[in-house]
Structure 1
Amino acid sequence: MREDVEFRTEDGVTLRGWHYSPDGIDGPAPLVVMAHGFSAVKEHLLDDFAQHFAAGGLGVLVYDNRNLGASDGSPRGEIDPWQQVRDYRTAITWAGTQPWADPDRIGVWGSSYSGGHALVVAALDRRVKCVVSQVPLVSGLQNARRLIRADAFAGLRAAFDADRAARYAGSEPAMIQVAYEKDPAEMAALPTEDTHDFFFGPVQDRAPSWRNEVTLRSVEMFVEYEPGAYIADISPTPLMMVVAAKDHLTVADLTLEYYERAKQPKELLVLPVGHFDAYVDDAFAVSAPAQLRWFRTHLG
């Protein structure tokens, strides 16, 4: 069963999402806390994972990140990775006060940008007893250098500086598209064809609250974010990492390099697909049961 829920952060922002009750359990249950990646909202296929986990006996809390989707917060489209990490930890705190969650059996799940957050939260917060990080960002700077041509990177940094000066003078934050809409030459935060195909494909009708814009400083914060630096500190919390072998958005070879830095207990699942394929079809059919098994093993 799914119900709408909302909770307030320490700075007074209301975050909204869903709670999935686990099949076959009446009372406090193990819980997985989930949020989505860069600009995405919960309707971007997180409900499929949540339903699968709930059918397997896990409670699930899924919510929209602040400034996005159904959640409050301003400026709209602002994506601050460290604020999102803090909100994950607030979600854990709030869930632990609810009658349907066992506060001693909480896991975290993240994918893409939030896959990086899951690594950080698991390293910093020992209330987390298990973590799944799917196609995660592990290094903002190294990843940005893969996505942005070297001759364009200086121009991007100049745009960051100009936006900072304009904000200091009282202007609103500059905005940038998440994905190009028609022409690959359009400036976009995630300038890949598969990003366009995901957000403007069939899933678009499932997520009407999504907006194809974020603040430019969200991209600046992306470049400065290094969640993989925390990966060796996750142990002894069990870590499963799911990597898409053909991923060129959060590039697979870089993710695999960082996985080697993680300590036991850990498990790696490599899917022979691209970044967004990890959410659907054959990859989902392989990955979701493996993730459920991991959570059930370590959350009891």
Structure 2
Amino acid sequence: MHAYTVEPLYVKSGQEVIAADFYRPKTDVPPGVIIMAHGFACLRQFKLVQFAKRFAQAGYAVVLFDYRYWGGSTGRPRELVSIQEQLSDWRTMLMHVSQRKSINSRKIVLWGISLSAGYALELASENKNIQAVIAQNPFVDGAESAKNFPLNLLPKALKISSQDYMGAKVGLSPRTLAVTDPSGLCFVQTKDAYAGYQSIIHPDYYWSGQVPARVFFNLMRYRPIQNLRKIAVPVLYIASKNDSLIPIESSREAATNIAPYVDYYEWDMAHFDIYHGAWFEKAVAKQLDFLNQHVGVS
């Protein structure tokens, strides 16, 4: 087990500054590095810290970052989810990490969960400087995931999304939707979503639970599954059979598209289970095996 330090890291991305934590294991040679970010509407201090610590203890460097508008990163309006700008932040962090002399730039791994796993897979389809990808419950097909949204609530959600989008054009304050709400209109309407989000939030860090509604329509149109046949690096893909957010059929199709580069696993769990208990331990063990096989610690 390696000792490690955690250092603050600030990287310019467009007009904004991205805040990150750099987990640096104490090794004699520059280690491989894992770039990590959370899924939809979360902060880096939430449940990804437990993964980052385990990777650092195993001898891998980790860069865990907040998207612009979130957490310690700059940008307004706060807690805005912009798919294109978040992808840009990933590209910025990838470029920054590849230029750091303290790590091995030939051993860069992209690590994502839910929406960020969709980003990681999309980036792997366009970038040849990545060693491997770890994707947990990846959001790969917004059109299919949208089918889980209650049909009777869809017109109202789309209306608010359009109003927020048009209002932003003329400088109005955002119209927001709750990320999840057990009794009202929200982004994630599935029965287990409220308890799932509550289980990963860190109470010491501010999280409003509200997101500008303009992203709603863009989430439905986001389909990284269309580009996955371009991936030519090892991918560890972990899917949940009982996932109420990501249809298992989408994961199976995605894995087929990535073959023969994918190690695909379906586990009998729900979307948020992988953060907790035995499922977390199983996931970490599988990921460390994958990393040791394809990246390695010198």
Pairwise TM-score range, normalised by the shorter structure = over 0.9
Q: What's the secondary structure of 2:32's corresponding residue?
A: strand
Structure 2 runs not aligned, ≥5 long:
none
Q: Are 1:232 and 2:232 matched, yes or no?
A: no
2:291 maps to: 295
- In 2, the alpha carbon distance for the partners of 1:95 and 1:77 equals 25
Separation of aligned partners in 2, 1:13 and 1:270: 38
Query: 1:169-212 CA distances to partner (integer Å, 9 max, x unpaired)?
Result: 432221111111xxx231111122322113334x4345523220
| Aligned with residue 55 of structure 1, among 31, 36, 57 | 57
Q: Is the 8 A contact 1:129 1:238 kept in 2?
A: yes
Inter-partner Cα distance in structure 2 for 1:91 and 1:165: 30
Match of 1:19 in 2: 22
Is the 2:124–2:231 contact (alpha carbons within 8 Å) kept by the matching residues of 1? yes
Report the Cα distance in structure 2 between the residues aligned to 1:149 and 1:287, rounded to whole angstroms. 31
Q: What is residue 138 of structure 1 aligned with on the other side?
A: 140
Looking at structure 2, the residues matched to 265 and 119 of structure 1 have their Cα atoms a distance apart, in angstroms, of 12
Measured in 2, the distance between the counterparts of 1:234 and 1:30 equals 20
CA distance in 1, matches of 2:119, 2:29: 29
Do structure 1's residue 246 and structure 2's residue 242 form an aligned pair? yes
Equivalent residue in structure 2 for 1:269, among 233, 256, 265? 265
Structure 1 residues not aligned, in runs of 5+: none
Structure 2 residue matching 1:200: 3-state secondary structure: helix
Runs of 4+ residues over 4 Å off in structure 1: none
Instruction: Give the partner amino acid of 1:72.
Output: T
Q: Secondary structure at the match of 2:34?
A: strand
TM-superposed deviation, 1:246: 0.9
**Matching residue of 2:162:** 161
TM-score when scaled to structure 2?
Answer: 0.92
After TM superposition, list the pairs within 5 Å mapping 1:88-237 onto structure 2: 88-146=90-148, 148-180=149-181, 184-201=182-199, 203-206=200-203, 208-235=205-232, 237=233
What is the one-letter code of the residue matched to 1:218? V
Match of 2:288, SS state, is helix
Q: Which amino acid aligns with 2:121?
A: L
Work out whether residues 2 and 18 of structure 1, in 8 Å CA contact, stay in contact via their aligned partners in 2.
Answer: no
Percent sequence identity is 23
Give the Å deviation of 1:89.
1.5
> Partner residue of 2:41?
39
Residues in 1 aligned to 2:226 and 2:12: alpha-carbon distance in whole angstroms: 26
| Paired residue type of 2:176 | M
Letter in 2 for 1:122: A
**CA deviation digits over 1:86-135, x for unaligned, max 9?**
21121111112223211111010000010100111111111111001100
Aligned-partner SS, 1:4: strand
Asked if structure 1 preserves the Cα contact closer than 8 Å seen for 2:161 and 2:215, the reply is no
- In the alignment, the residues of structure 2 paired with residue 89 and residue 164 of structure 1 have an alpha-carbon distance, to the nearest angstrom, of 25
Corresponding residue of 1:87 = 89
Distance 2:84 2:171 in 1: 24
Contact 2:145 2:246 in 1 (8 A): yes
Residue 159 of structure 1, CA deviation = 2.6
Taking the aligned partners of 1:2 and 1:213, their CA distance within structure 2 comes to: 33
With structure 1 as the length reference, what TM-score do the two structures score? 0.91
SS of residue matched to 1:102: coil
- One-letter amino acid of the structure 1 residue matched with residue 195 of structure 2: D
Compute the displacement of 1:161 (Å). Answer: 2.7
Partner of 2:105, secondary structure, is strand
Stretch of structure 1 that moved more, 1-10 or 290-299: 1-10
Aligned length: 293
**CA distance in structure 2 between the aligned counterparts of 1:21 and 1:165, rounded to whole angstroms:** 44
CA distance in structure 2 between the partners assigned to 1:8 and 1:99 by the alignment: 16
